[in-house]
């Protein structure tokens, strides 16, 4: 699904966020990405979502080298990825339904299809009854679940989550992780960046650990 | 291997379905209608500021439209004399009445001439004393001071200014002619003045068009700025530049449409105010002339100009500012 081949990322100014990172996340696999803050977790996810571009090395997505892909093609790659953010990144001027519908609208689905899929996604995260509400009226955990519904509504092949439980209490965090496990069970590849070591270790998934931009232990480095 | 092939087939099928979905004209239309509606709703939501922008655009569009229309009316007024170009040939005093009527007959035979009217000094004097109210004064004169005059109406082909001038020159060269006058000059002068004014309206119109472009561009720039977060999020979840651009282009289009409608109302209102005094003036000249308001072709032109300027203005703003906004 994702293959990093000796990837380095140096930001303008000289700070090297990632150094010679190599790993392979197979199709249908789920893994955690940990490390202290500033270790390069976010940079790694941003490279996969093509928000940042690597300075050196090759990045493969779904068997395709995307290291040098043109800016015009990037949106079509992003549509295959569901991205979940720590601060949700919901649009507060529109309803829960419209937020979740956004990826489908972008991809050009018809109204009828949009309604069907949005309700299915909201049902999966248990928020079907709140589709007409504005996100601001929801709790933190609910907002995060709206974010997840938006990420999965387009049936992406890969879910990327950047500290999805960062602002949630342990109970809610566990629920969110269980949700990710459910998506993984139906074949979606999942990569979750989190520093919540206790929670991660409860769950039985491979862990990629970053330390000052280097992959500290990833055995086997093919997941 | 088998599974890989099946996967490939599956993904091909998926790909085709996607393509079909994207290219379906119905879905395309649905998408555009919904974006257009969203942009309009958003504008109506900020009613006051939107209406103010539309009013500025409307005033800027109304000025050249109104001036153009006034000129058009003036042109129509002068045009009603255009076809009646006539020549007055004043004959020398020494020319005898018999010579004059012979000359009139000869001239009637010229191919350029449609009709000739001979006005003898006596006829001219009678007409003059009847209409001028100077009958007493004229009677006091020892002899008739008026010359014999030939009024020439050229055929249509020679009624055009240059051809009519050539005809006048031909008459000037006749030995009997004292003076030949083309009664077209003031019409020509008026139409020359209208031409200059029309050019001025074009210049003013272009400048105001530029102003409309800037107003729309700036409005869209602010809108882009206000929706920055939304743009970032939509780009993150796979929006193409085209998708992000679309609502702003529609906003520009709506500003153009609203501005054009506003301009139309202004012009109509202005002409309504002018119509009574103009009718009064026309009545004083015993003319049936009345102001003509915006014809439909011009209304379409106004609407088209509004839409074009709206799209162009927003296109410029979007091209300039949208590329700066990328997810970080």
**What is the pLDDT, as a whole number, of residue B1?**
43
The alpha carbon of residue B220 is apart from the nearest alpha carbon of chain A, in Å, by 19
**What is the pLDDT, as a whole number, of residue B54?**
92
**What is the pLDDT, as a whole number, of residue B23?**
62
What is the enclosing helix (H) or strand (E) of B114? strand B113-119
**Which are the contacts of A9, defined by CB distance < 8 A and separation ≥ 6?**
A16, A17, A18, A40, A43, A47, A52, A54, A55, A213
Q: Is B26 close to A110, i.e. CB distance below 8 A? A: yes
**What is the pLDDT, as a whole number, of residue B16?**
64
**What is the pLDDT, as a whole number, of residue B2?**
47
**Which are the contacts of B14, defined by CB distance < 8 A and separation ≥ 6?**
none
* Partners of residue B237 in chain A, C-beta under 8 Å: 78-79, 83, 102-103, 106, 150
Per-residue pLDDT of B118-165, as tens digits, reads 888 888 888 777 766 677 777 777 777 788 888 888 887 776 667 778
**What is the pLDDT, as a whole number, of residue A197?**
85
Q: Is A83 close to B328, i.e. CB distance below 8 A? A: no
**What is the pLDDT, as a whole number, of residue A221?**
59
B105 and B233 inside one domain: no
B228 and B297 inside one domain: yes
B260 vs B61: CA distance, rounded Å: 7
In chain A, where are the structural domains located? 1-80+157-223, 93-156
**What is the pLDDT, as a whole number, of residue B290?**
75
* Residue B22 domain-assigned (yes or no): no
Per-residue pLDDT of B259-271, as tens digits, reads 999 999 999 999 8
**What is the pLDDT, as a whole number, of residue B15?**
61
**Which are the contacts of A143, defined by CB distance < 8 A and separation ≥ 6?**
A88, A90, A135
Q: Are B165 and B182 in contact (CB under 8 A)?
A: yes
Instruction: Give the B-side interface with A, CB within 8 Å.
Output: 18, 21-22, 24, 26-28, 30-31, 34, 229-230, 232-240, 243, 326-328
Lowest-confidence pick of A195-204, B128-137, B246-255, B297-306: B128-137
* Residue B95 domain-assigned (yes or no): yes
Q: Which of B266, B245, B252 is nearest to B213 (CA)?
A: B252
Nearest CA in chain B to A105: B31
Report which of residues B204 and A219 the model is more confident about.
B204
- Tell me the C-alpha to C-alpha distance, in Å, between residue A124 and each of A72, A127, A128, A219: 33, 8, 8, 33
Asked whether the bond before A220 is cis by omega within 30 degrees of 0, the reply is yes
B58 and B201 inside one domain: yes
Check residue A222 and report its DSSP letter: B
B65 and B196 inside one domain: yes
Provide, rounded to the nearest whole percent, the portion of chain B with pLDDT above 70. Answer: 87
Per-residue pLDDT of B47-58, as tens digits, reads 898 999 999 999
Per-10-residue mean pLDDT of chain A, 223 residues long, equals: 90 89 91 88 91 91 90 90 89 93 89 91 92 92 92 93 86 89 93 89 88 75 62
* Partners of residue B26 in chain A, C-beta under 8 Å: 110
Q: Which of B129, B163, B183 is the last residue of a domain?
A: B183
- Residue B56 structure tokens: 């500025």
* Partners of residue A84 in chain B, C-beta under 8 Å: none
B28 vs B20: CA distance, rounded Å: 11
Q: Is B235 close to A108, i.e. CB distance below 8 A? A: no
With helix as H, strand as E and coil as C, how does B5-62 read?
HHHHHHHHHHHHHHHHHHHCHHHHHHHHHHHHHHHHHHHHHCHHHHHHHHHHHHHHHH
* Residue A157 forms contact with B (CB below 8 Å): no
First to last CA, chain A: 10
pTM of the model: 0.73
Query: Does residue B71 register a pLDDT over 80?
Result: yes
The mean pLDDT of B91-116, rounded to a whole number, is 85
B231 and B318 inside one domain: yes
Query: Does residue B82 register a pLDDT over 70?
Result: no
Per-residue pLDDT of B154-165, as tens digits, reads 887 776 667 778
Query: Does residue B239 register a pLDDT over 80?
Result: yes
Q: How does residue B78 score in pLDDT terms, banded at 50, 70 and 90? A: low
* Residue B297 domain-assigned (yes or no): yes
B255 and B223 inside one domain: yes
B219 and B279 inside one domain: yes
Number of domains in chain B: 2
Q: Which of B139, B159, B183 is the last residue of a domain?
A: B183
The alpha carbon of residue B13 is apart from the nearest alpha carbon of chain A, in Å, by 15
The alpha carbon of residue B34 is apart from the nearest alpha carbon of chain A, in Å, by 10
B116 and B171 inside one domain: yes
| Nearest by CB: B233 against A49, A51, A89 | A89
* Residue B58 domain-assigned (yes or no): yes
Provide, rounded to the nearest whole percent, the portion of chain B with pLDDT above 90. Answer: 27
- Residue A147 structure tokens: 């974010």
* Residue A187 forms contact with B (CB below 8 Å): no
Secondary structure of residue A36 in the 3-state scheme: coil
* Residue A178 forms contact with B (CB below 8 Å): no
**What is the pLDDT, as a whole number, of residue B18?**
61
B311 vs B42: CA distance, rounded Å: 17
A165 vs A192: CA distance, rounded Å: 10
B195 and B222 inside one domain: yes
**What is the pLDDT, as a whole number, of residue B6?**
47
B202 and B77 inside one domain: yes
The mean pLDDT of B230-254, rounded to a whole number, is 91
* Residue A11 forms contact with B (CB below 8 Å): no
Full residue range of the structural domain in which residue B237 is found: 32-81+189-324
Q: What is the CATH number of the domain that holds B106?
A: 3.30.70.3040
**What is the pLDDT, as a whole number, of residue A161?**
93
Query: Does residue B312 register a pLDDT over 90?
Result: yes
Q: Which of B226, B274, B305, B297 is nearest to B57 (CA)?
A: B305
Mean pLDDT for all residues in chain B = 83
Q: How does residue B3 score in pLDDT terms, banded at 50, 70 and 90? A: very low
The alpha carbon of residue B303 is apart from the nearest alpha carbon of chain A, in Å, by 30
Question: Domain A1-80+157-223, what fold?
Answer: Rossmann fold (3.40.50)
Query: Does residue B190 register a pLDDT over 80?
Result: no
B58 and B193 inside one domain: yes
The alpha carbon of residue B249 is apart from the nearest alpha carbon of chain A, in Å, by 16
Residue B152's DSSP bridge partners are B87, B116
Q: Are A2 and A57 in contact (CB under 8 A)?
A: no
Q: Which of A102, A47, A121, A32 is nearest to A77 (CA)?
A: A47
Q: Phi first, then psi: give them for residue A187, nearest 5 degrees.
A: 105, 5
* Residue B5 domain-assigned (yes or no): no
* Residue B2 domain-assigned (yes or no): no
A152 vs A185: CA distance, rounded Å: 13
A20 vs B200: CA distance, rounded Å: 68
Q: Which of B162, B183, B204 is the last residue of a domain?
A: B183
B173 and B299 inside one domain: no
């Amino acid at each position: 699904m994702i293959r990093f081949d000796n990837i380095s990322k140096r930001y303008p100014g000289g700070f090297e966020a990632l150094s010679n990172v190599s790993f392979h996340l197979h199709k249908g696999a789920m893994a955690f990405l940990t490390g202290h803050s500033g270790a390069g977790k976010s940079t790694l996810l941003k490279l996969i979502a093509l928000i940042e571009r690597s300075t050196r090395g090759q990045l493969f997505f779904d068997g395709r080298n995307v290291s040098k892909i043109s800016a015009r093609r990037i949106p079509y790659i992003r549509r295959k990825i569901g991205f979940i953010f720590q601060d949700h990144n919901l649009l507060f001027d529109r309803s829960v339904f419209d937020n979740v519908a956004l990826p489908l609208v972008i991809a050009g689905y018809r109204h009828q299809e949009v309604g069907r899929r949005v309700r299915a996604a909201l049902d999966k995260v248990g928020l079907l009854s709140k589709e007409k509400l504005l996100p601001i009226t929801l709790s933190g955990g609910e907002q995060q679940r709206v974010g997840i519904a938006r990420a999965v509504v387009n049936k992406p092949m890969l879910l990327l989550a950047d500290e999805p439980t960062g602002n949630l209490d342990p109970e809610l965090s566990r629920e969110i992780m269980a949700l990710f496990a459910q998506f993984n069970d139906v074949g979606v590849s999942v990569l979750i960046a989190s520093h919540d070591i206790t929670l991660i270790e409860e769950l039985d998934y491979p862990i990629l650990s970053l330390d000052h931009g280097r992959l500290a232990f990833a055995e086997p480095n093919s997941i | 291997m088998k599974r890989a092939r099946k996967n490939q087939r599956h993904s091909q099928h998926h790909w085709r379905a996607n393509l079909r979905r994207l290219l379906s004209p119905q879905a395309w239309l649905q998408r555009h209608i919904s974006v257009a509606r969203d942009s309009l709703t958003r504008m109506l939501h900020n009613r006051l500021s939107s209406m103010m922008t539309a009013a500025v655009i409307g005033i800027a569009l109304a000025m050249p439209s109104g001036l153009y229309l006034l000129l058009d009316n003036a042109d129509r007024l002068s045009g009603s004399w255009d076809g009646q170009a006539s020549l007055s040939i004043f004959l020398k005093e020494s020319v005898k009445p018999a010579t004059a009527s012979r000359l009139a007959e000869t001239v009637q035979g010229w191919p350029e001439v449609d009709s000739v009217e001979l006005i003898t000094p006596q006829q001219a004097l009678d007409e003059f004393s009847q209409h001028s109210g100077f009958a007493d004064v004229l009677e006091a004169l020892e002899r008739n001071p008026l010359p014999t005059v030939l009024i020439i109406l050229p055929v249509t082909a020679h009624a055009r200014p240059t051809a009519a001038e050539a005809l006048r020159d031909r008459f000037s060269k006749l030995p009997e002619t004292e003076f030949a006058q083309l009664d077209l000059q003031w019409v020509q002068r008026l139409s020359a003045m209208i031409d200059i004014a029309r050019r001025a309206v074009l210049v003013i119109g272009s400048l105001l068009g530029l102003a409309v472009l800037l107003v729309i561009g700036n409005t869209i720039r602010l809108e882009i700025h206000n929706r920055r977060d939304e743009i970032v999020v939509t780009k993150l979840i796979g929006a193409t530049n085209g998708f992000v651009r679309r609502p702003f282009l529609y906003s520009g289009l709506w500003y153009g449409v609203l501005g054009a409608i506003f301009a139309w109302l202004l012009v109509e209102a202005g002409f309504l105010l002018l119509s009574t005094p103009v009718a009064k003036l026309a009545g004083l000249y015993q003319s049936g002339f009345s102001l003509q308001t915006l014809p439909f072709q011009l209304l379409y032109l106004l609407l088209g100009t509004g839409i074009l300027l709206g799209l162009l203005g927003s296109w410029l703003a979007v091209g300039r500012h949208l590329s700066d906004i990328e997810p970080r």
